[in-house]
Chains A and B, each alone.
Chain A
Amino acid sequence: MEELIGELKKDIIEALSLEDVVPGDFDAETPLFVEGLGLDSIDALELILLMERKYGIKIEDPKERRNVLRNVRAMAECITVHRNNHK
């Protein structure tokens, strides 16, 4: 899980072109939106595409999508569940 969290942080920084941010600047529980990383809805779309394209996860329900994208740990947990279901 920790490895996946580290990888996700790098993915997020790259996908959102966060030029002044390094993985050490936020932890797995840091809120991604508003406070914390302060992301907005354009970033949200990039995160959705990251989950779809790199991890093969399509979240259809908007409420679940918001829940998964709240922080890095929630995203990592979603990916782990998805991987376990597809073993």
Chain B
Amino acid sequence: MHKRVFVTGVGIITAIGNGTGQTLDSLKKKTSGIGRLTLFRSIRSDIPVAEIPLSLDQLSEIAEADPGSGPVTRNTLLSLIATRQAMLSSNWDITSPLRSGIILATTVGGMDFNERYYGSLLTDDTHKDVITLLDSADCTEKIAEYAGIRHHVTTISTACSSSANAIMLGSRLIRNNRLERVLVGGTDSLTRFTLNGFFALEILSPTGCRPFDRNRNGLTIGEGAAVLVLESESVADPSAILCEITGYANANEAYHATASSADGSGAFLAMKEALSTAFLKPADIGYINAHGTGTEINDLSEGRAIEKLFGNDIPPVSSTKAFTGHTLGAAGAVEAVISVLSLRHQMLIPGINFVTPMEELHFLPVPEATPCRLNHVMSNSFGFGGNNTTLIFSRS
């Protein structure tokens, strides 16, 4: 007997705010988090980023949690902040005997410490303790400890679909009654590694990303963390339920190491399969939070896939990456929380930095925060390697 999967708590921190209140406010007022890099010195400092302008000490203070002894990476602090919000909102009890899991996603792990200590690690042992913090799973293990989770602890790293896959796996574990509650989400901090790496791929926007614009010129790297509490229908407190996860799918088009196929076949398959797991028709979707990175290839391929699936009846679409930047491993969870807010407030989320329509597509991004009756919201997250994931959130 399958169990329904409810979202009973959320937490979020990105360049547009700490918590759902600030996040929603920025989305409504169309305030972008994209700006100048101040967190670290870089030869790429002329490239805009969406950073959270807080130091490790400031983040520690906000996290209000003791993640154990020793130094803590930026990734772990960001996810602690989001996790604490999610746990408080769902009234998570760390002493509960419920079968509980945690599935967190990241692409950089403790890269900020790697960059800071790499030089000294080559010459002496002073900082050798930080080596264990570099691993992607370090953050998940610390949060698992914090949340009292023993049953299922997993870290997912599938590039930009990482945390959408964490949400999908968590949903499946609950649906199939393997777990009763699970913390799912993702975190990625801004690092030289990502900034220089994406620069080398020649897909960073020199001006700030503008999803679905004809003159789009690349993506903007962001940072952040978002965490959701998912609970089985058999244990969820009705007063805590925010919405239901009804659909999810992952489809790999195996086309290219980094590029998506021109016709968006992987994106199309992910959206189509997600609809079918939710027993929904395309016309049931009231809003699509697109992957919409602002790169030439993604927006065209995703747009074509949307047009192929929805035909002449395309629901309102926007990408929120011109607000938060592309938060990579956190993006799926960040946009999941934004989708939950869209449903909760019955509001279409606008896309910003859009000026000129693309010649190839027949839809425009949502221009303003607009009240709208929404029953089902779709969120897309597509990763390098053709790893495409679609989630569907429904009013419960």
Does any Cβ of B come within 8 Å of A83's Cβ? no
Q: In the complex the two chains form, what is the Cα distance from A62 to B88 in whole Å?
A: 8
B91 & A65 in contact (Cβ 8 Å cutoff): yes
B344 & A42 in contact (Cβ 8 Å cutoff): yes
Does any Cβ of A come within 8 Å of B9's Cβ? yes
Which B residues are CB-close (under 8 A) to A34?
238-239
Does any Cβ of B come within 8 Å of A77's Cβ? no
* Interchain nearest-CB distance for B341 vs A (Å): 8
- Chain B 207-244, CB within 8 Å of chain A: the 1/0 string? 00000000000000000000000000000001111100
Does any Cβ of A come within 8 Å of B10's Cβ? yes
Interface residues of B in 1-34 (CB under 8 A from A): 8-10, 19-21
Q: In the complex the two chains form, what is the Cα distance from A63 to B95 in whole Å?
A: 11
Which A residues are CB-close (under 8 A) to B91?
41, 44, 62, 65-66
Known: A33-B239, A63-B93. A40 touches B88 (CB 8 A): no
Residue in chain A with minimal CB distance to B341: A42
Does any Cβ of A come within 8 Å of B250's Cβ? no
A42 & B242 in contact (Cβ 8 Å cutoff): yes
B89 & A44 in contact (Cβ 8 Å cutoff): yes
B344 & A41 in contact (Cβ 8 Å cutoff): no
Pick the contact of A45: B85, B93, B239, B344 (CB < 8 A). B85
Q: In the complex the two chains form, what is the Cα distance from A66 to B393 in whole Å?
A: 26
* Interchain nearest-CB distance for B244 vs A (Å): 13
Residue from B21, B88, B240 having most chain A Cβ neighbours under 10 A: B88
Which A residues are CB-close (under 8 A) to B21?
17, 46
Does any Cβ of A come within 8 Å of B92's Cβ? yes
Does any Cβ of A come within 8 Å of B90's Cβ? yes
* Interchain nearest-CB distance for A85 vs B (Å): 22
B88 & A45 in contact (Cβ 8 Å cutoff): yes
Q: In the complex the two chains form, what is the Cα distance from A65 to B344 in whole Å?
A: 23
* Interchain nearest-CB distance for B235 vs A (Å): 13
B93 & A41 in contact (Cβ 8 Å cutoff): no
Does any Cβ of B come within 8 Å of A48's Cβ? yes
B240 & A62 in contact (Cβ 8 Å cutoff): no
B90 & A41 in contact (Cβ 8 Å cutoff): yes
Q: How many A-B residue pairs have CB under 8 A?
A: 43
Q: In the complex the two chains form, what is the Cα distance from A65 to B94 in whole Å?
A: 14
* Interchain nearest-CB distance for B280 vs A (Å): 23
Q: In the complex the two chains form, what is the Cα distance from A38 to B38 in whole Å?
A: 42
A41 & B92 in contact (Cβ 8 Å cutoff): no
B20 & A42 in contact (Cβ 8 Å cutoff): yes
Q: In the complex the two chains form, what is the Cα distance from A33 to B88 in whole Å?
A: 15
Which B residues are CB-close (under 8 A) to A44?
88-89, 91, 240
* Interchain nearest-CB distance for A38 vs B (Å): 9
Interface residues of A in 4-44 (CB under 8 A from B): 17, 33-34, 39-42, 44
Q: In the complex the two chains form, what is the Cα distance from A63 to B93 in whole Å?
A: 8
Pick the contact of B239: A40, A48, A62, A65 (CB < 8 A). A40
Residue from A42, A44, A62 having most chain B Cβ neighbours under 10 A: A42
Which A residues are CB-close (under 8 A) to B8?
41
Q: In the complex the two chains form, what is the Cα distance from A36 to B238 in whole Å?
A: 14
B93 & A40 in contact (Cβ 8 Å cutoff): no
* Interchain nearest-CB distance for B343 vs A (Å): 11
Which A residues are CB-close (under 8 A) to B242?
40-42
* Interchain nearest-CB distance for B174 vs A (Å): 17
Which B residues are CB-close (under 8 A) to A66?
91
9 A–B pairs (Cβ distance < 8 Å), ordered by A? A33-B239, A40-B240, A40-B241, A41-B9, A41-B89, A41-B241, A45-B20, A45-B85, A46-B21
The chain A residues found within 8 Å of chain B, CB to CB, are 17, 33-34, 39-42, 44-46, 48, 62-63, 65-66
> Considering the complex of A and B, which 8 residue pairs feature the smallest CB-CB distances, nearest first?
A33-B239, A45-B89, A41-B240, A41-B89, A62-B93, A34-B239, A62-B91, A45-B88
